Amino acid sequence: MKEYTFDDSTIMKAIDRAVCDAFGLVPEQLQTKTRSMKFVFPRQICMTLARELSALSYVAISNYYGKKDHCTTFHACTRINDLIKRNPNFANAYEKMREATGYSPILTRTF
């Protein structure tokens, strides 16, 4: 499993800030154990952005958000990517959150 680096931490904090600004949350709320959609949906967006903007694995992203299973991040990415394909309004909002992070998607991924 890939260890966190300073750059990973910086990217994750930028993602948290961008999504929290869009949803009116604070970053600590993204790591709460509650399953309320008020927190789950933004956390799923964060996980998807993390997968897109960093080289972190599903496991590392799940661990960052206090989840025990990599399947949580996999499910989040699947759900958000499906929503992007089906809903142009959400796709635009997602793009704005991605731009707000200040990072570009990585072009290659090593597994």
Spatial distance between the Cα atoms of 107 and 89, rounded to a whole number of angstroms? 25
Other C-beta atoms closer than 10 Å to the C-beta of 19 total 26
Among 76, 85, 82, 83, smallest CA distance to 58 is for 76
Spatial distance between the Cα atoms of 51 and 77, rounded to a whole number of angstroms? 8
**pLDDT tens, residue by residue, 41-52:** 999 999 999 999
Spatial distance between the Cα atoms of 28 and 110, rounded to a whole number of angstroms? 30
**Taking the complete model, does pTM exceed 0.95, yes or no?**
no
Among 74, 24, 59, 62, smallest CA distance to 82 is for 74
**pLDDT tens, residue by residue, 68-96:** 788 999 999 999 999 999 999 999 999 99
